[in-house]
Amino acid sequence: MKGNHAQRDVPAIPAVSEAELTALQGKLAETAAAAGLLDIAYTTVDSPIGTLLLAASERGLVKVAFERQNHDAVLDELATKLSPRVLRAPARLSATARELDEYFAGRRTAFGLPLDHRLSSGFRQLVQRHLPLIPYGRTESYRDVAEGVGNPKAVRAVGTACATNPIPIVVPCHRVVRSDGSFGEYAGGPEAKAALLRLEGAAGPRS
């Protein structure tokens, strides 16, 4: 009869478990890396201040992003500014994840990770390279940092460099506060900045 076609049994597609999917992603990442196609690796990790997105190039850690920054938007930014070859590949970020765990557990006061500063340039990068020189448990004012990088009048520009720091926590812009002790802008929000300073037992800004 017209329109009467025998129906064939379509085999069901077997469900893939989360563990199997993770293994497949890992294999894909290994293959991409071996072929030189893994430009930016990323993963997410849990922390006391929320889920963090970590991303690294072959040069080093290039991005740490808070949940409030929209991780999907951050991945789009990395694909646009650095390379479209962005892939979830936790293995490249294993040392970063470990050092962050140690930091949040109070067992680490400085990071020993290679960094890729390509998301910043000029004066902003100069400021961000200065920030790890602020000791754990201390803070500096924006004016202190401006003087530290040799441009004491650039207080506002220092604030912008801290607010746009692409590698927060590891590059400790949370240790920079206003002269009156108030926080100023922070990518993770004031609650995250307060939590990091409490963790470090930070003193007030130096006079």
Check if the beta carbon of residue 150 is closer than 8 Å to that of residue 196: no
- For residue 107, the number of C-alpha atoms closer than 13 Å in the C-beta half-sphere is 6
162 labelled catalytic:
no
Place of tokens 């939590």: 195
d(CA 110, CA 117): 18
From 161, 169, 173, 187, active-site residue: 173
Catalytic residues: 173
